[in-house]
Amino acid sequence: MLILECPYCGLHADETELAPGGEAHLKRFGPGSSDDDFEGYLFMRENPKGVHFERWRHANGCGKWFHAARDTNTLEVFGTYSAQTTEPPQDIKDKISARRPGWTWREFA
């Protein structure tokens, strides 16, 4: 069972209280972009075994979206952070580096 801390409520919310929102930090390419960029935005996902960044919504709680950094293999959660950002904050990256030296995920490391 996955338990994530909602950064708005400060609660450790059970997975059944949350709604998954897929991969985090997708960069949108809209009208006028190249077909390759749009395809990447629409379909290409990381699907890693290891460090991963996801969007979650505290659906049965405060209703807010947030980001979570976790390991898909061990279910270890490195941290959660605000949805109002385009990249993982430094403290989350540091926490992951401490546990998984040399990790990379898309353009982040």
Report the alpha-carbon distance of residue 18 to residue 32 in Å, rounded. Answer: 35
**Chain mean position to CA 102:** 18
Considering beta carbons, is residue 10 or 101 the nearer one to other proteins?
10
> Does residue 2 touch other proteins according to CB under 8 A?
no
* Local structure of residue 76 (DSSP, 8 states): -
83 is a site residue for other proteins (CB under 8 A):
no
Nearer to other proteins, 33 or 82 (CB): 82
> How many amino acids of this chain bind other proteins (CB under 8 A)?
13
Phi, psi (rounded to 5 degrees) for 101: -55, 140
Check residue 17 for interaction with other proteins (CB under 8 A). Answer: yes
Does 8 bind other proteins (CB under 8 A)? Our answer is yes
The interface mask with other proteins, positions 52-81, x = CB under 8 A, is -------xxxxxx-----------------
The answer to whether residues 75 and 63 touch, using CB atoms and an 8 Å cutoff, is no
Measured CA to CA, the distance from residue 9 to residue 23 in angstroms comes to: 22
For other proteins, the binding residues (CB under 8 A) are 8-11, 14, 16-17, 59-64
